[in-house]
Amino acid sequence: DQQVKQNSPSLSVQEGRISILNCDYTNSMFDYFLWYKKYPAEGPTFLISISSIKDKNEDGRFTVFLNKSAKHLSLHIVPSQPGDSAVYFCAASGRGGTSYGKLTFGQGTILTVHP
């Protein structure tokens, strides 16, 4: 039962253009969403997060959009840089019950930014 899904295994973008990574979730108890970036041989690095009371959060080149009715979030990277090439994971967290204290991750999307 995949509660967080990243349906695109990979994405290829030209340097300077926008990268859009998508994530869908099924569990209505999720109320906090995070994006992590992972380079080979390193642990995931926190990128940006959003609470369910917001629909947008921005941090420099990174913006996360949340559509609660569609249970969908997306990460926009503008402009994309070659150093952004990595695996991007979407994660969700809920409060209460079995979701408490647990991050549920998607399968990841490999982003490649070409110079």
Residues in the site for other proteins, rule: CB under 8 A? Answer: 4, 6, 32, 34, 36, 41-46, 49, 89, 91, 93, 95, 98, 100-108
Q: How far is the CB of 106 from other proteins (least distance, A)?
A: 5
Closest distance to other proteins from the beta carbon of 1 (Å): 10
CB of residue 16 to other proteins, shortest distance in Å: 29
Q: Which is nearer to other proteins, 32 or 62 (CB)?
A: 32
Contact 24, 7 (CB under 8 A): yes
Judged by beta carbon, residue 77 or residue 108, the one nearer other proteins is 108
Q: Provide the strand spans (E) within 55-94.
A: 56-59, 62-67, 72-77, 86-94
How is residue 79 annotated by DSSP?
A: S
Is residue 39 within 8 A of residue 54, CB to CB? The reply is no
Q: What phi and psi, each to the nearest 5 degrees, are found at residue 2? A: -85, 105
